[in-house]
Amino acid sequence: MSKIQEEIKNRILVLDGAMGTMLQRYKFEEEDFRGERFKDFPHPLKGNNDLLSLTQPEAVKEVHRLYFQAGADIVETNTFSGTTIGMADYHMEDLVYELNFQSAKIAREVADEFTDKPRFVAGSIGPTNRTASMSPDVNDPGFRAVTFDDLKVAYRQQVEALIDGGCDLLLVETIFDTLNAKAALFAIEEVKEERNLDIPVMVSGTITDASGRTLSGQTVEAFLISISHIPLLSVGFNCALGADQLKPYLKELAHNTQLNISAHPNAGLPNAFGQYDQTPEEMQELIREYLQENLINIIGGCCGTTPDHIKLIAQVAKEFKPRTVEVVA
């Protein structure tokens, strides 16, 4: 049994908040993204946050450190777009292994600075910017921009680099198309088998609107069933919704699974300018409701959340025991 599997039995684990929200505070410009190494790169690089692990590693380290200091037990690597499919937008497919390896190494180094309690590094595996089960062309519903095999190959490279860099667990997150996630999980299982390795895996889907479905049309229960053949540390939801909007779907999840449950909601819904206005105090009270209703084992924040949010979430998490599942004989 891994250390995190032991810890999750004893307490509610706290995940970090948004990496992107924090990196935006640095107001990095094109030359900052490029650094010395990519100063002559022939394509624009501004906005490629994963690249900052190579060109601005101290900033990425500082974000991890602030989240750990706020009370996070788990930080996510700066690799949300770290596949060849995601990096194709920046013509940087050749850098994928290095980006993931260095991002994991950076997070591992910061985690090891903290010795007060076990700290963990989760390899962040995003959904890519393509969907395997829907056509991007309304005039050609049979067309697919990516295949299952394309995704599997891309995810496999990311997974190997994250493991090599020192991750304790893998987080397949922000899932809007379960077929994409299944490709990631297939790649993970392949690597685990080949390496004779049992690295814990978290899965976190995204409910995209008030219909209570993922973008590819699955309900909470359908999403759960379609990934239930994989051994998982936890299943949960993140992004798209704030803590209050997410709560009914977490209740449905809790009712239907004996797995650990995770949640990392946004800081409310975005305003007209795309900003997130929910204060740490407001979010803490909403998270308290999750805990009072015995819904979760892992709690953190997604878009708009900062170390201030995580600090108050960590404080309230200490007051409660982790979700337990009553096994009916």
Instruction: Write the burial class of residue 198 (CB in 10 Å: 0-12 exposed, 13-18 middle, 19+ buried).
Output: exposed
Start-to-end CA distance of the chain, whole Å, equals: 25
Whether 239 has a binding-site annotation, put simply, is: yes
C-alpha span between 206 and 177 (Å, rounded):
9
Whether 167 has a binding-site annotation, put simply, is: no
Are 120 and 4 within 8 A, CB to CB?
yes
C-alpha span between 165 and 102 (Å, rounded):
7
Are 306 and 21 within 8 A, CB to CB?
yes
C-alpha span between 250 and 271 (Å, rounded):
24
The number of beta carbons lying within 10 Å of the beta carbon of residue 275 is 12
Q: What count of Cα atoms within 13 Å lies in the side-chain half-sphere of residue 156?
A: 16
Binding residues for Zn(2+): 239, 302-303
Binding residues: 239, 302-303
